[in-house]
Copies of this chain bind each other. A is one copy, B any other.
Amino acid sequence: MDNHYRKILNPISLDQVEVRVLQLLRHRPFFSRADIVDATGLSRARVSQVLTVLHRNNLIAPCKTGESTGGRPPMLFSFNKQARYVIGMDFGATACRIGITNLAGEPLSLREEALDIKLGPELVLSQALTTVRDFLRQQEIRHDSILGIGVGVPGPVEFLTGRPISPPIMPGWDGCQVAEFFRKDFACPVFVDNDVNVMALGEQWAGAGQGVDNFIFIKIGTGIGAGLICNGHIYRGAQGCAGDVGHIMADASGPRCNCGNVGCLEAVAAAPAMVRQATAAAQEGRSAMLADLLASRGHLAAVDVGRAAVEGDQSAMDIIRHSGRLIGQVLAGVVNFFNPSLIVIGGGVSRVGHLLLATIRETVYSRSLSLSTGSLSIATSALGNQAGVIGCSMMAIEETLASSAITHERLSTILVRNGGEG
């Protein structure tokens, strides 16, 4: 019985008041007992109790003595970000980024590997797990020191169950129990979300969105999608598919999208649309530079259009401006609706150069209401292709703490009633 509880409660068992206090403490350099009393409204006795539990779990440590205000100088504590570790795995269409971070999301190990998501969950997850085992061995981290695992995948996910739902570019993954795969190695919780949501979380905690309560992360690549931070929390929507800006209609006379509708933003402005226009410009003799690039490599990529535009190629500049205007027009609507204070732009196409960002900015600022854009910033991702893996770690930390508070509440009560910790 005791062993059973130890396993379930491993590695952290906190009640909801303890989690609430821990959430406060994580983001302060140090704090005294009185600081927590002030911030929470809990009694001094309850706060002492909570600090004892957190200390026993090694989550906080006394760091120094504060200034006396007359009596005995107060003991100051700080959050111990090395108390546990988390694993982040950010799967893209053709590559995977895997990292081990501490409880502040700071990476100890980080690696990018070529890995085709189309190989299916068994092969893809096995290869990722091998890398994780290597990392843990190298860093001498025990498996039971892992607080939680966060996984990002390039498709829609039912967040509560962690299962991909009919993901268009992930054959074999539909309904896959990703968390189950890690159960033999790890007793900790596993959380799965789509790639743009974890990127938004990465930017929130360690990138361009730090300290910003309401922002949108938009990824522009082969597809276009957005992650929403709303009142400081990721917003997933009623069915977990909020942020699907790629299928908002951008051009009523545009081509049919693979979703079946006409003129979706993704179909007219993402990488394949840019490449299609660039290839046409090369083949029809409208751009010598693009024709040269096409001749030398047999195909074009979105970054080629960026390179040609930087060199002054008119067709390339037109293509980028066209995509920027369409993206900006959809974002202008989003700004009117959501009134964020920041839009962070990431994904492969965001690296085609400044002209895209400039065109998006110009369109949003001219098309949104001035009250909404008064203090709106539009910036590129600060973390680049590390946003996802850091976001996976942060998701693992946030969600493990939140679920600990809910799931373990009753178990803790039982344990306390039985007079021990199991």
Q: Shortest CB–CB separation between residue A240 and chain B, in angstroms? A: 7
**A369 interface residue (CB < 8 Å to B):** yes
Complex-state Cα separation, A157 to B166, whole angstroms: 43
Q: Shortest CB–CB separation between residue A369 and chain B, in angstroms? A: 5
List A residues 201-254 near B (Cβ within 8 Å). 213-214, 226, 228, 230-231, 233, 235-245, 247-249
Contacts of A249 in B (CB 8 A): 329, 332-333, 367
Q: Shortest CB–CB separation between residue A333 and chain B, in angstroms? A: 4
Contacts of A366 in B (CB 8 A): 261
**A372 interface residue (CB < 8 Å to B):** yes
Choose among B330, B367, B374, B405 the residue that contacts A239 (Cβ–Cβ < 8 A).
B374
Inter-chain contact B337/A337, CB cutoff 8 Å: yes
Q: In the complex where A156-B371, A235-B230, A241-B369 touch, is A337 in contact with B41 (Cβ < 8 A)?
A: no
Task: Indicate how many identical chains form the complex.
Answer: 2
Inter-chain contact B261/A238, CB cutoff 8 Å: no
Inter-chain contact A15/B43, CB cutoff 8 Å: no
Choose among B233, B240, B338, B339 the residue that contacts A337 (Cβ–Cβ < 8 A).
B338
Inter-chain contact B238/A341, CB cutoff 8 Å: yes
Choose among B17, B240, B337 the residue that contacts A245 (Cβ–Cβ < 8 A).
B337
Identify the interface centre among A247, A366, A409: most chain B CB within 10 Å of its CB: A247
**A375 interface residue (CB < 8 Å to B):** yes
Not counting A239-B371, A242-B338, A243-B339, a sample of 16 additional A-B residue pairs whose C-beta atoms are within 8 angstroms of each other reads A15-B41, A16-B41, A165-B371, A166-B371, A214-B237, A228-B337, A237-B338, A237-B339, A238-B340, A238-B375, A238-B376, A242-B337, A244-B339, A247-B336, A248-B336, A337-B337
